[in-house]
């Protein structure tokens, strides 16, 4: 029990010391600029992900594990040469697929992919995976 107490005291002391550093100089990050440094880093990472526009990389990163890097299927079905229109493929990516109550493919709308990225992937599936 005493080791736990020492650990907690050491952790508390490190927070106090970190909070006292900087004695009056202007800070370049923090709540005054819209969030903690960690939150800003997470926002920057998210914006980098949302900025990816390379169609093949978007497809591989988000679809390749289930549909195969060439669209021939692995866990998910082959989507090579699909008869679906680009709009149908886009809708499928946005909403996902269910089989009864089981989610077979998750929807990506409002998640990791922007609307523009969904459009890029849908076009890639239709035009490049023939």
Instruction: Give the residue with greater pLDDT, 39 vs 98.
Output: 98
pLDDT at 28 over 50: no
Of the candidate ranges 34-43, 58-67, 94-103, the one whose mean pLDDT is the lowest: 34-43
Mean pLDDT (whole number) for 57-75: 95
Q: Name the pLDDT band for 127 (thresholds 50, 70, 90).
A: very high
Instruction: Give the residue with greater pLDDT, 12 vs 82.
Output: 82
How many CB atoms lie under 10 A from the CB of residue 3?
7
pTM: 0.59
Main-chain dihedrals φ then ψ at residue 5, nearest 5 degrees: -65, -45
What are the structural domain ranges in the chain? 38-128
H or E element in which residue 98 lies: strand 97-99
Q: Which CATH number describes the domain made up of 38-128?
A: 1.10.760.10
pLDDT at 39 over 70: no
How many CB atoms lie under 10 A from the CB of residue 6?
10
CB 58 within 8 A of CB 129: no
């Amino acid at each position: 029990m005493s080791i736990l107490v020492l650990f907690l005291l050491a952790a508390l002391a490190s927070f106090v010391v970190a909070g006292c550093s900087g004695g009056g100089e202007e800070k370049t990050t923090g709540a005054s600029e819209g969030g903690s440094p960690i939150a800003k880093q997470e926002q920057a990472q998210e914006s980098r992900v949302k900025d990816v526009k390379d169609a093949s990389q978007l497809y591989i990163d988000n679809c390749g594990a289930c549909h195969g890097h060439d669209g021939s299927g692995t866990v998910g079905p082959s989507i090579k040469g699909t008869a679906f229109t680009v709009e149908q493929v886009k809708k499928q990516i946005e909403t996902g697929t269910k089989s009864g109550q089981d989610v077979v493919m998750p929807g990506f709308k409002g998640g990791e992919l922007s609307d523009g990225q969904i459009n890029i992937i849908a076009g890639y599936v239709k035009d490049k995976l023939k």
